[in-house]
Amino acid sequence: MGNQKLSTSDSKSVKEAITEFYNLAGIQPPVIDGDVSEKTAEIFYQMYNAAATCSSAMDLVPRPSGGPPGIVWIVTQLTGAVIRRHKGKLTYICILKAINNWRSALVDSINNS
């Protein structure tokens, strides 16, 4: 992980991605003045990847049945798991977990850029 500054256009893209990621969780994103470093981009990638991995696993968790589960519920859950897995969406809880796990490292890298 280098601490070299990214180009202005790459830095803008990373800052926009960080802001959107935090907005998905309803959390105020960190203030980023100027260009970001390669280290900040790498830490954000790790944060995003952690949320994506978690979200992929969450796709397989069955949803509540609302009553005693039957065969229709089982089939619906299996089908839903496949559909959720292919949508590739990040889940709210996984985004929060990633932010909580990586926030300090990200903010430190921003402040040391």
Is there a contact between 91 and 54 (Cβ–Cβ < 8 Å)? yes
Read off the tokens for 77.
């859950």
Give me the amino acid identity at 88.
Answer: G
Tens of pLDDT, residues 57-110: 776 777 777 777 777 767 777 777 766 665 667 888 888 999 999 999 999 988
Could you give the percent of the chain with pLDDT greater than 90? Answer: 38
Rounded Cα–Cα distance for residues 64 and 47 (Å): 29
Q: Is the pLDDT of residue 31 over 70?
A: yes
Residue 37 phi/psi, 5° resolution? -95, 170
Rounded Cα–Cα distance for residues 18 and 29 (Å): 7
